[in-house]
C-alpha cells in the first residue's frame, strides 16, 4: 500500500513543480499570467500519461521480479554434521612401506596383537600398526562392536551366539570362526544387535 502512495506522491509532486514553474515563467515573460491551477491542468493533460508510465516502470519491474524463497534448515548444518559423523567405507592399512585399501564391509573381526592389530577378512589377514582403540574410532559404532578387550567384531558377519553359562558368550561368524563375548561388553553388543537380541537374555 505504501508503495502505491509513494507512486502517486511522486506523480503529484512532478505536476505541482511543473505548474509552479509555468506560473513563474508566465508571470515574468508574458503579459497574461498562467495561473497555478491552469498550469496543473495543462501539465496533466500534456504529460499526465507519460508521467504515470515513467514513474510506474520502476514499480512494475520491482513487483514483477520473482521473489527468492529462503528455506531455513530445521537445525544448523554444522550441528547436524557434528551429531552424525561421516565414516569412510575404506580403511587404509599400513604394511611396511605399502598402504593397502581395505573395504570395511569385508572385515569380519579385528584382534589386538600389540603393537599391531590383525584385521581378518575372507581373503586374508592384515597386520596394521595401531591400537584397537584408535582403529575403533574409524569404524561405524552401529556395525563394529567391541566384544572383548582384544576383539572387535563386524555384527553383519555374525550368524549366531551361545551362552557359556558363566556370563560370557561364544559368537559364531559366517566363516565359522568362534569369538568370545565378554560379559563386560554384553550390553554394548546387545545395543548394536538391536532387534536381533531383543528376545535373547544376555
| Distance separating alpha carbons of residues 200 and 129, to the nearest angstrom | 37
pLDDT tens string 68-102: 666 665 556 555 455 667 889 999 998 888 899 99
pLDDT tens string 15-34: 667 666 566 665 666 555 55
Residue ranges matching CATH 2.40.50.1020 in the chain: 87-197
Q: Which residues of the chain fall short of a pLDDT of 70? A: 1-12, 14-16, 18-84, 195-202
Joined together, the cell numbers standing for residue 151 give 576383539
Q: What is the pTM of this model?
A: 0.56
The domain 87-197 is placed in CATH, from the list 3.30.70.3400, 1.10.275.30, 2.40.50.1020, 3.40.50.720, at: 2.40.50.1020
Q: pLDDT value at position 191?
A: 86
| Distance separating alpha carbons of residues 76 and 72, to the nearest angstrom | 9
| Distance separating alpha carbons of residues 23 and 178, to the nearest angstrom | 108
- Give the sheet arrangement for strand 116-120, strand by strand: 125-128, 116-120, 109-113, 151-154, 144-148
Q: pLDDT value at position 146?
A: 96
Helices (H), the chain: 2-29, 36-64, 77-83, 132-136, 186-193
Amino acid at each position: 500500500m505504501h508503495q502505491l502512495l509513494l507512486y502517486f506522491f511522486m506523480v503529484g509532486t512532478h505536476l505541482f513543480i511543473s505548474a509552479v514553474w509555468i506560473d513563474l515563467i508566465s508571470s515574468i515573460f508574458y503579459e497574461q499570467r498562467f495561473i497555478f491551477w491552469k498550469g496543473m491542468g495543462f501539465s496533466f493533460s500534456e504529460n499526465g500519461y507519460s508521467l504515470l508510465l515513467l514513474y510506474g516502470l520502476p514499480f512494475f519491474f520491482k513487483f514483477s521480479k520473482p521473489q527468492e524463497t529462503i528455506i531455513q534448515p530445521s537445525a544448523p548444518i554444522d550441528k547436524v554434521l557434528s551429531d552424525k559423523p561421516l565414516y569412510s567405507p575404506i580403511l587404509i592399512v599400513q604394511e611396511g612401506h605399502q598402504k593397502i585399501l581395505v573395504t570395511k564391509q569385508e572385515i569380519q573381526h579385528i584382534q589386538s596383537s600389540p603393537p599391531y592389530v590383525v584385521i581378518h577378512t575372507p581373503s586374508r589377514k592384515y597386520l596394521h600398526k595401531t591400537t584397537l582403540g584408535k582403529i575403533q574410532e574409524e569404524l561405524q559404532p552401529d556395525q563394529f562392536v567391541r566384544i572383548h578387550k582384544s576383539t572387535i567384531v563386524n555384527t553383519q558377519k555374525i550368524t549366531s551366539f551361545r551362552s557359556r553359562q558363566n556370563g560370557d558368550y561364544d559368537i559364531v561368524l559366517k566363516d565359522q570362526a568362534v569369538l568370545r563375548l565378554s560379559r563386560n561388553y554384553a550390553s554394548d553388543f546387545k545395543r548394536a544387535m538391536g532387534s536381533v537380541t531383543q528376545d535373547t537374555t544376555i
